[in-house]
Amino acid sequence: MTLLIPIIILILIVIIGIIAIKNFKGKPRNIDYKTLYIVGISWLPLGIVFTIIDLPTGMPFSAMGLVFLSIGLANRDKWQDSKPLTKSQKNLSIVLAIIGVIVFIAVLVLYILNCLD
């Protein structure tokens, strides 16, 4: 039962990796500094909370959040305006959201079953 969670996570990582490789193969990559800023502004407080509750992941999250936040702010003049999503991007977003919900529900069910034992 405890081996099931890592196997599910590994399978999902492989599926997401295959989808990402197929979508971005051969296309030039532009750095989206606005996204780096958003990730940084999300991870910094998350890392602070993790540090306060004494989790070992607190400092790495804080450090990465600070780095992403700094890079995003330093390149603020290169932020790109949001473009409407294409049909394939919308479909990919829906698929990834569904996968995320399924993983969340699976982990929640496994957690509840583990607590009942």
Report if residue 81 sits inside a domain.
no
CB atoms within 10 A of CB 62: 19
Q: Which residues contact 106 (CB under 8 A, 6 or more apart)?
A: 5, 8
- Same domain for 39 and 68, yes or no, is yes
Report if residue 46 sits inside a domain.
yes
Averaged pLDDT for residues 22-49: 84
- Same domain for 68 and 38, yes or no, is yes
Report if residue 58 sits inside a domain.
yes
Closest CA to 89 of 24, 9, 26: 24
Averaged pLDDT for residues 29-48: 87
What pLDDT does residue 64 have? 92
Report if residue 63 sits inside a domain.
yes
Could you give the CA distance from residue 98 to residue 77 in angstroms, rounded to a whole number?
35
- Same domain for 15 and 47, yes or no, is no
Report if residue 80 sits inside a domain.
no
- Same domain for 44 and 70, yes or no, is yes
Residue 55 structural domain: 32-74
- Same domain for 24 and 41, yes or no, is no
Question: pLDDT over 70 for what percent of the chain?
Answer: 96
Average pLDDT in the chain: 86
Report if residue 108 sits inside a domain.
yes
Report if residue 60 sits inside a domain.
yes
Report if residue 79 sits inside a domain.
no
Copy the structure tokens of residue 57.
């992941």
Could you give the CA distance from residue 80 to residue 11 in angstroms, rounded to a whole number?
33
Q: pLDDT category, 1, cuts 50, 70, 90?
A: low
Please count the structural domains in the chain: 2
Per-residue model confidence as pLDDT tens digits over 40-94: 998 898 888 888 888 888 888 899 999 999 999 999 888 877 678 899 989 999 9
- Same domain for 22 and 39, yes or no, is no
- Same domain for 49 and 21, yes or no, is no
